């Protein structure tokens, strides 16, 4: 096992964490079984959010009566102090706990600070004073907000998208967190499903000092990969290094991460999948994306109004309408080629 001290919090956690977003897609019975297996296998850091439908409820059901074995992180998307308290009390109730170790502002468009008109940070300070939260943290997809959070000295940790496709700016965030005594939680360690080899991703993460990846798991087979890494370690072999270099050549640059912050689309386009369809066709079995259902969804791109809604919401500054048009053109070419082969 690879235990690390999480920033300056005093918390000691297994370097591989469990991301609890995907368990909202499985039954409570399945989720509890998966969470117990993760905990028994050495994972002690579990990250969920108020926004993840019934994820908190399932985590609460799994760890009721064994709270002392885990480090628990959750999030609030509240925009006001009133909303903050409502979310916090709901989370405490559904998680069946009287305190939360890492309480995170969930991807705010700004960096909450003491004295702000929103009242968010002041509410968090009061919750910490009351013992309901142990550490105040933040998640984000925006480089500017993430950097401001680091520079502010107000946060125990930052959660940000981070995988072996990371560029210099993301690596600078990790270094900034280390220098400021902050923990760094890596979401989207598999780049939103674009990376295919969990062991390679885990091996690369193992070499990143001060980084705790939270692997989004909903199947036992996925969990088994990461538990294997915990038991045996994950060596960055020549073969895995070659995989990383190949993926970097294919994927680095302007591509849709599938985060969904551009949604919903006024024209009904499923942007977070359609804008990266070319990648999915080549990095997963293409047949699953060439069905009648997906053809209808890709046709929706024809209804794009070029209103700019998606571009204004994209935390990566992508020209989403252009991406949609490029993926649209490629999709029908791939579909035509597939039909010609039959």
**pLDDT bucket at 174, cuts 50 / 70 / 90:** very high
**pLDDT bucket at 272, cuts 50 / 70 / 90:** very high
Q: How far apart are CA 230 and CA 228, in angstroms?
A: 5
Q: Residue 141 has what DSSP assignment?
A: S
> Would you state the pLDDT for residue 7?
96
Alpha-helical regions (H) of 168-263: 168-179, 198-206, 220-232, 238-251
> Would you state the pLDDT for residue 24?
94
> Would you state the pLDDT for residue 315?
84
Express each pLDDT in 1-11 by its tens digit. Answer: 689 999 999 99
> Would you state the pLDDT for residue 232?
86
Q: How far apart are CA 169 and CA 320, in angstroms?
A: 21
196, pLDDT greater than 90:
no
> Would you state the pLDDT for residue 233?
83
Q: How far apart are CA 314 and CA 275, in angstroms?
A: 12
Rounded mean pLDDT of 322-334? Answer: 94
Q: Residue 291 has what DSSP assignment?
A: S
Residue percentage of the chain with pLDDT more than 90:
82
**pLDDT bucket at 251, cuts 50 / 70 / 90:** confident
Express each pLDDT in 118-138 by its tens digit. Answer: 999 999 999 999 999 999 999
Express each pLDDT in 37-88 by its tens digit. Answer: 999 999 999 999 999 999 999 999 999 999 999 999 999 999 999 999 999 9
Q: How far is CA 186 from the centre of its chain?
A: 7
Written as six digits, the tokens of 255 are 């591509």
Rounded mean pLDDT of 226-240? Answer: 90
283, pLDDT greater than 80:
no
**pLDDT bucket at 289, cuts 50 / 70 / 90:** very high
Token pair 């609460």: residue: 60
> Would you state the pLDDT for residue 94?
98
Q: How far apart are CA 2 and CA 19, in angstroms?
A: 18
Residues 6+ apart with CB under 8 A from 119: 80, 81, 84
pTM (predicted TM-score): 0.87
> Would you state the pLDDT for residue 309?
94
Domains, the chain, with CATH or none: 3-246 (3.20.20.100), 271-341 (no CATH)
Q: How far apart are CA 267 and CA 286, in angstroms?
A: 25
> Would you state the pLDDT for residue 299?
96
Helix (H, G, I), strand (E, B) or coil at 16: coil
Higher-confidence position of 31 and 229: 31
Rounded mean pLDDT of 93-104? Answer: 98
Rounded mean pLDDT of 145-167? Answer: 96
Is there a contact between 143 and 163 (Cβ–Cβ < 8 Å)? no
> Would you state the pLDDT for residue 263?
92
């Amino acid at each position: 096992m690879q235990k690390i001290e999480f920033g300056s919090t005093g918390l000691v956690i297994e370097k591989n964490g469990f991301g609890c977003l995907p368990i909202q897609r499985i039954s409570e019975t399945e989720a509890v079984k998966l969470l117990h297996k993760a905990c028994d296998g050495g994972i002690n850091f579990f990250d969920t959010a108020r926004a993840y439908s019934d994820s908190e409820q399932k985590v609460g059901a799994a760890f009721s009566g064994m709270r002392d074995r885990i480090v628990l992180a959750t999030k609030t998307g509240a925009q006001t102090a009133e909303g903050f308290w409502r979310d916090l009390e709901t989370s405490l109730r559904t998680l069946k706990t009287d305190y939360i170790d890492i309480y995170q502002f969930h991807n705010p468009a700004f960096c909450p600070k003491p004295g702000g008109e929103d009242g968010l940070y002041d509410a968090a300070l009061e919750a910490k004073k009351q013992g309901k939260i142990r550490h105040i943290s933040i998640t984000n997809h925006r480089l500017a907000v993430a950097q401001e959070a680091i520079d502010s000295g107000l946060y125990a940790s930052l959660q940000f998208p981070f995988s072996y496709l990371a560029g210099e700016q993301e690596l600078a965030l990790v270094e900034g967190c280390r220098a400021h005594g902050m923990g760094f939680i890596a979401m989207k360690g598999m780049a939103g499903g674009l990376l295919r080899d969990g062991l390679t991703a885990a091996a690369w993460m193992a070499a990143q000092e001060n980084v705790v990846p939270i692997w989004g798991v909903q199947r036992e087979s996925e969990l088994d990969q990461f538990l294997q890494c915990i038991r045996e370690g994950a060596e960055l072999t020549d073969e895995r290094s070659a995989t990383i270099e190949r993926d970097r050549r294919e994927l680095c640059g302007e591509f849709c991460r599938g985060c969904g912050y551009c949604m919903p689309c006024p024209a009904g386009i499923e942007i977070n999948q359609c804008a990266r369809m070319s990648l999915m066709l080549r990095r997963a079995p293409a047949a699953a994306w060439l069905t009648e259902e997906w053809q209808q969804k890709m046709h929706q791109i024809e209804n794009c109004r070029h209103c700019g809604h998606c571009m204004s919401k994209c935390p990566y500054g992508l020209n989403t309408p252009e991406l949609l048009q490029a993926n649209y053109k490629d999709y029908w070419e791939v579909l035509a080629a597939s039909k010609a082969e039959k």
